[in-house]
Amino acid sequence: MPNVSRISTDQLVRRLEQVSAFQFWNVLSDEYFKGELIPGSLRVPVDTVGREAGRLGLPQNAEIIVYCAGPTCPSSTQAGETLMALGYTNVKAYEGGLEEWKASGRPVAQLMASGAE
């Protein structure tokens, strides 16, 4: 299986500034997700990426960028490999993750809880 392509913070910022549509997912598992998202991204836990791609009816060539906590977090690679195994051909992992994004002084969004526990 081919490796998941990686993109840097600068490449991600340039991609976010473009108008064309793409999927941008925070794939941290529920265990590690702390409510923070890079603005413009959606919350799609790593164990649900295949199901979510199917639910959205994404074409096999859809651009999907995934990220997790940081360079040592395996969730983005795992999510990318899952998507590629399902036939998605334009999958990238943001290698710096939330850690590098925040360290570079960029904003984060907070995902609000949807209900009381």
SS3 of 25-64: the string is EECCCCCCCCCEECCCCEECCHHHHHHHHHHHCCCCCCEE
Would you say the C-alpha torsion 51, 101, 35, 18 has a positive or negative sign?
negative
Tokens 């998202």 belong to residue: 37
pLDDT band at 112 (very low <50, low <70, confident <90, very high): confident
Q: What is the pLDDT of residues 58-75, one digit of tens each?
A: 999 999 999 999 999 999
CATH number of 5-110, picked from 1.25.40.10, 3.30.565.10, 3.40.250.10, 3.30.1300.10 = 3.40.250.10
Domain positions in the chain are 5-110
- pLDDT tens for 20-52 read 789 999 999 999 999 999 999 999 999 999 999
What are the two backbone dihedrals, phi and then psi, of residue 92, each rounded to the nearest 5 degrees?
Answer: -135, 150
Query: What's the pTM value of the predicted model, to 2 decimals?
Result: 0.88
